């Protein structure tokens, strides 16, 4: 049976999860969701996996859009992995409802915790804690792979009730505002006009004007631009100059640069 994992990644956490899971499953194709930009049709697979980051405690807009493109497919099994920094909230339940409206049942949904890449709220934490999360993630992904191979249904993992009440409401209130949240990005004197930020942005949100990046209000808050900048010249708000940059240590720049830009 053909298995395809569709993934969305900015700083590499979700790509690492997708790769690790594909290796455990075997005979699995990996497809980046931005790679499908401009394609009229998505090739169907008997087993479909979705691997994506949790943004502002919910399903990010690129996954909402992609779910709509799955309408008309008839996979026998669909699973999802929501990658997060510790608060999955109601994301996978939300995804299940979203898929249902497009005629697809979510067979199983899991969360994997990785170091946080949301630098406006701080760095990713000490290396020993990061390595612990990676070890725990590998072990859980092996269990998820066994679950998927056996085509088991359930569970749909979710956060505690207070998260699902408070954070889900916050996600709904802010969802339409995310594209304009790029107004807080700025560039300091370390910028050497390399243009890498525009190349790593999976949303195609950055253009280079007079050598400097300009954000065009199609932001998804993946923070690839700030985290991959080789000179740490991109900032967000006032606090990021003091925070450590992060991308997954097993993901190389070439892995995200090969994503096509809309």
Write the pLDDT tens digit of every residue in 197-208: 999 999 999 999
pLDDT tens across 153-185, in order? Answer: 998 999 999 999 999 999 999 999 999 999 999
- Token match 């525009």: residue? 198
Distances in whole angstroms, Cα of residue 225 to Cα of each of 6, 93, 172, 182: 22, 30, 25, 11
Which residues does 113 contact at the CB level (< 8 Å), separation at least 6?
Answer: 83, 84, 85, 86, 133, 136, 137
Q: Can you tell me the mean pLDDT for 225-248?
A: 96
Look at residue 143 in the predicted model and tell me its pLDDT.
Answer: 98
pTM of the predicted protein model: 0.95
Look at residue 173 in the predicted model and tell me its pLDDT.
Answer: 95
For the cut 60, the answer to whether the pLDDT of residue 259 exceeds it is no
Look at residue 255 in the predicted model and tell me its pLDDT.
Answer: 93
Q: Write down the mean pLDDT value for the chain.
A: 94
What is the rounded distance in angstroms from the CA atom of residue 40 to the CA atom of residue 171? Answer: 30
Length of the chain, in residues: 262
Contact (Cβ atoms closer than 8 angstroms) between residue 200 and residue 242: no
State which fold the 3-171 domain adopts: Rossmann fold (3.40.50)
Domain 176-257 sits in CATH 3.40.50.1820: no
Contact (Cβ atoms closer than 8 angstroms) between residue 122 and residue 243: yes
For the cut 60, the answer to whether the pLDDT of residue 13 exceeds it is yes
Look at residue 261 in the predicted model and tell me its pLDDT.
Answer: 44
Same fold, 3-171 and 176-257: no
Look at residue 98 in the predicted model and tell me its pLDDT.
Answer: 97
For the cut 90, the answer to whether the pLDDT of residue 40 exceeds it is no
Look at residue 42 in the predicted model and tell me its pLDDT.
Answer: 81
At residue 258 the predicted structure's pLDDT band, cuts being 50, 70 and 90, is low
For the cut 60, the answer to whether the pLDDT of residue 141 exceeds it is yes
For the cut 60, the answer to whether the pLDDT of residue 257 exceeds it is yes
Token code pair at residue 149: 């191979």
What is the rounded distance in angstroms from the CA atom of residue 83 to the CA atom of residue 52? Answer: 6
Query: What is the chain's alpha carbon radius of gyration, rounded to the nearest angstrom?
Result: 18
Contact (Cβ atoms closer than 8 angstroms) between residue 171 and residue 89: yes
Contact (Cβ atoms closer than 8 angstroms) between residue 44 and residue 73: yes
Contact (Cβ atoms closer than 8 angstroms) between residue 80 and residue 86: no
Sheet strand arrangement including 77-84: 28-32, 3-7, 47-53, 77-84, 108-113
What is the rounded distance in angstroms from the CA atom of residue 88 to the CA atom of residue 110? Answer: 9
What is the rounded distance in angstroms from the CA atom of residue 9 to the CA atom of residue 52? Answer: 7
Q: Can you tell me the mean pLDDT for 217-228?
A: 96
Alpha carbon dihedral 96, 100, 106, 110, in 10-degree steps, equals -10
Domain ranges of the chain: 3-171, 176-257
Look at residue 45 in the predicted model and tell me its pLDDT.
Answer: 87
What is the rounded distance in angstroms from the CA atom of residue 227 to the CA atom of residue 244? Answer: 9
Which is higher by pLDDT, 182 or 257? 182
Contact (Cβ atoms closer than 8 angstroms) between residue 260 and residue 35: yes
């Amino acid at each position: 049976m053909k298995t395809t994992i569709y993934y969305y990644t900015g700083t590499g956490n979700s790509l690492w999860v997708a790769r690790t899971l594909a290796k455990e499953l075997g005979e699995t194709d990996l497809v980046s969701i931005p790679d499908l930009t401009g394609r009229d049709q998505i090739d169907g697979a008997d087993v479909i996996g979705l691997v994506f980051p949790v943004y502002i405690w919910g399903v990010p807009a690129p996954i909402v859009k992609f779910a709509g493109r799955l309408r008309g497919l008839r996979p026998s099994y669909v699973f999802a992995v929501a990658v997060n920094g510790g608060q999955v909230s109601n994301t996978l339940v939300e995804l299940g409802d979203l898929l249902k409206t497009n005629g697809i049942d979510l067979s199983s949904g899991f969360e994997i915790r990785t170091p946080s890449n949301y630098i406006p709220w701080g760095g990713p934490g000490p290396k020993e804690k990061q390595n612990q999360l990676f070890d725990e993630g590998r072990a859980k992904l092996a269990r998820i792979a066994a679950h998927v191979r056996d085509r088991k249904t359930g569970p749909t993992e979710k956060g505690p009730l207070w998260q699902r009440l408070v954070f889900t409401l916050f996600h709904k209130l802010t969802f339409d505002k995310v594209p304009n949240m790029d107004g807080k990005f700025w560039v300091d004197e370390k910028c050497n006009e390399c243009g890498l930020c525009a190349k790593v942005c999976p949303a195609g949100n950055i253009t280079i004007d007079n050598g400097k990046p300009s954000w065009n209000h199609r932001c998804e808050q993946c923070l690839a631009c700030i985290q991959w900048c080789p000179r740490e010249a991109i900032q967000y708000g006032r606090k990021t100059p003091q925070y450590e940059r992060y991308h997954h240590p097993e993901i190389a720049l070439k892995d995200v640069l090969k994503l096509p830009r809309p």
